Structure 1
């Protein structure tokens, strides 16, 4: 380093801190600090993107990479070709708003908005004695306690913005979204009894005058912030009721509640939501034949997409639908998908769920299982009972199947129950879904112990759960536990139905 590059004030501060400057020809002695300046990572230059001499990706004023259609760059890795600025946190932070604006505009096919960053930025540099100096372009103030207090205030205010959500999450437990937002089984059953609608629950109802037609209604508040993905997940969740009856989906109607936000935002949320719903129906050659929209009368959450609520009425046909209530002693219990989505999403609300675990579960949940109907066609006559595992969890839905079979018990093999990656670890840390406590009432239907670490996953609410079938052992269907190319998960035997003794 050449001494002439530093101001006298900076030299005095370094001297007081007992920092010795090493000139280019001086030997290094003891602990040394090497200042290299800012340079982009080498992989950017090898990526094929245009970079400047400092290795930073060159963009236009809209932060779009030069010569590229859908790639943006900002912060220390990017630089606007016609308005270059030094790599600094000031410009990186200020680029956030124009970057978000242009990403949204690009997704909507709207014109991008150019951004011209400020030419200079205030730089506050602290010393070891609770003082700091300030620099603005060529103007500089020597170290002062007043500047130090200003720097502390700016830094602490900035960091507080990242801690606000964490402190809110720790204050009170947050209610789970998605399917875990459904009413617990006990108050639901009691209310149905009081109005004369009690009895054996089924996944779908037969339409009067046309017993071959089946209909079901399902839905929940937004589970994820992406309205398209949320529409797809909700549609898959609703369709699984008909799949659990052995019926193919032919049509659906949607009731969508939108948050109180500007009409332009409502329109975009509705477009994305319906596109997600149709992506599921199109795969089944089914149609969205109508629906209804409403505007919420409560304040919109942040982000507003979490204020979308969807209910779907789905229609299908099967003259001999599978029922929940047909299980028999000796039937094998098979499951087509892992458990634990409820606790993964409960953990995500407080930052406890890892991103890879959540992404893995979402990929599975977003994969349609309608092809399972074709897979089981050759042995359909051997299926005695079936249900999908969603909000009430494995135990809750097994309890529904046993409601009118008082002499049947379920023997589960806890070690065979598949769980999504990360879910068991969250249970060990005390994370549970909102419906888990009420779902535990179904323990009474079990025969024999279940391993301790598997108990919580049996009670956890699920979203877009897979079908659970009960098969007679004589059918030899244990061979079908192998992985299948027709679905995203294998059929796994996790237990069997037994007769109550005595």
Structure 2
């Protein structure tokens, strides 16, 4: 008999708290005395923390977990692990160790938990890391993820907000998995669409990160719960602007169809409420807007690269089988006040 898990109201990265709520809480936390070795902390809104331990080594530390986004436990484990591992790659690092994070109902079949953890373990191994333990608690619903430790050279860190005017923006995975999974939850998604979404969500960003390290990357983030526009807003950091060409953004075509049928996520609407004030849409359809706000589970890397290297980087990413594309470019403004909050322009 095939073991399945029950969907919660929101699974994967659609279950995460909105950026606005997080900002409200984080800005009030006591900071304590600054540690000179803490190169990246939560105050920068980056993908992971980085702590320098020697002249040539810094530790990258992150964690991520969430409720099921698919019914199959093994597949859910792979997706959750791939998503958690991604933050190491978004900082330019290499995965070293991982710890399981498990919330599981005591009365549920333990075979389900075993399959979840098997999927996660396989992804850690694929990443070149070691699963070194974990922690579990009894809970009313299933949640799973990883705490991950990686390493990076202190002078080769990719921050998410260090892009430069002229940089080209490259996205390495298609958008729309949140909408597709929402459609699947109400039995409206095709098998082909779900297969494509699962393939994307279980593809490590390892290869993309390794390829990008050959080029002059100025900034990088992975596109997850805040959606493409939410993470792009963090990259602009209130000091830059950018133009995105919607027809160049890689998107699952089924996601556009399902958005047209209003199969949307509450998290996508939270993303819209938080970021819409910073975005100027120029002749863009409602469904494409929704895809750009859509929370991504285990999404791709969004990198800012030196303009002269953009096409070569995209070509190499595509040769590796990734649906990468140049989706826009960064520019500057002489006076931040002239941005009038519209730091992102979306055009055809």
TM-score by length of 1: 0.60
- 1:399-421 CA deviation, whole Å, 9 max, x = no partner? 12223xx2311211011111113
Counterpart pick for 2:94 among 248, 269, 277? 248
The DSSP-based 3-state class of the residue aligned with 2:132 is strand
Q: What is the CA distance between 1:487 and its match in structure 2?
A: 4.4
Q: Distance between the aligned counterparts of 2:246 and 2:127, measured in 1? A: 34
Match of 1:458 in 2: 292
Counterpart pick for 1:269 among 84, 94, 112? 112
- 1:359-393 CA deviation, whole Å, 9 max, x = no partner? 121122222231223222321xx111000001110
The DSSP-based 3-state class of the residue aligned with 1:384 is strand
- 1:75-131 CA deviation, whole Å, 9 max, x = no partner? xxxxxxxxxxxxxxxxxxxxxxxxx4xx67xxxxxxxxxxxxxxxxxxxxxxxxxxx
Match of 1:497 in 2: 330
Q: Distance between the aligned counterparts of 1:279 and 1:488, measured in 2? A: 21
Counterpart pick for 2:224 among 347, 372, 390? 390
The answer to whether the aligner puts 1:184 opposite 2:30 as a matched pair is: no
The answer to whether the aligner puts 1:351 opposite 2:163 as a matched pair is: no
The answer to whether the aligner puts 1:175 opposite 2:21 as a matched pair is: no
Q: Distance between the aligned counterparts of 2:280 and 2:143, measured in 1? A: 39
Q: Distance between the aligned counterparts of 2:129 and 2:265, measured in 1? A: 33
Match of 2:144 in 1: 310
Counterpart pick for 2:46 among 188, 202, 222? 202
The DSSP-based 3-state class of the residue aligned with 1:391 is coil
- C-alpha contact (below 8 Å) 1:179/1:391 kept by paired residues: yes
Q: Distance between the aligned counterparts of 1:257 and 1:214, measured in 2? A: 24
Q: What is the CA distance between 1:234 and its match in structure 2?
A: 0.6
Match of 1:431 in 2: 263
Q: Cα distance 1:282–1:486, how it changes in 2: closer, same or farther (>3 A)? A: farther
Moved more, 384-393 or 477-486: 477-486
Q: Distance between the aligned counterparts of 2:119 and 2:174, measured in 1? A: 23
- C-alpha contact (below 8 Å) 1:411/1:447 kept by paired residues: no
Q: Cα distance 1:448–1:270, how it changes in 2: closer, same or farther (>3 A)? A: closer
Question: Equivalent residues in 2 for 1:207-356 (5 A)?
Answer: 207=51, 209=53, 212-261=58-107, 265-266=109-110, 268-296=111-139, 298=140, 307-319=141-153, 320-356=156-192
Q: What is the CA distance between 1:351 and its match in structure 2?
A: 1.8
Q: What is the CA distance between 1:208 and its match in structure 2?
A: 6.4
Q: Distance between the aligned counterparts of 2:126 and 2:258, measured in 1? A: 34
Q: What is the CA distance between 1:450 and its match in structure 2?
A: 5.8
Q: Distance between the aligned counterparts of 1:241 and 1:450, measured in 2? A: 33
Unpaired segments of 5 or more residues in structure 2? 32-41, 339-348
- C-alpha contact (below 8 Å) 2:250/2:324 kept by paired residues: no
Q: Distance between the aligned counterparts of 1:492 and 1:485, measured in 2? A: 8
Q: What is the CA distance between 1:212 and its match in structure 2?
A: 0.6
- C-alpha contact (below 8 Å) 2:212/2:313 kept by paired residues: no
- 1:304-325 CA deviation, whole Å, 9 max, x = no partner? xxx4211311010112310011
The DSSP-based 3-state class of the residue aligned with 1:378 is coil
Q: What is the CA distance between 1:430 and its match in structure 2?
A: 1.3
Q: What is the CA distance between 1:282 and its match in structure 2?
A: 1.1
Q: Distance between the aligned counterparts of 2:293 and 2:122, measured in 1? A: 30
Q: Distance between the aligned counterparts of 1:488 and 1:226, measured in 2? A: 26
Match of 1:35 in 2: none
The answer to whether the aligner puts 1:402 opposite 2:232 as a matched pair is: no
- 1:328-356 CA deviation, whole Å, 9 max, x = no partner? 11111100000001111111121222222
RMSD, aligned α-carbons: 2.2
Q: Cα distance 1:486–1:269, how it changes in 2: closer, same or farther (>3 A)? A: farther
Q: Distance between the aligned counterparts of 2:319 and 2:74, measured in 1? A: 24
Unpaired segments of 5 or more residues in structure 1? 1-99, 105-168, 299-306
Q: Distance between the aligned counterparts of 2:52 and 2:166, measured in 1? A: 34
Q: Distance between the aligned counterparts of 1:427 and 1:485, measured in 2? A: 27
- 1:215-252 CA deviation, whole Å, 9 max, x = no partner? 00111111112111111111100111110001010110
The DSSP-based 3-state class of the residue aligned with 1:464 is coil
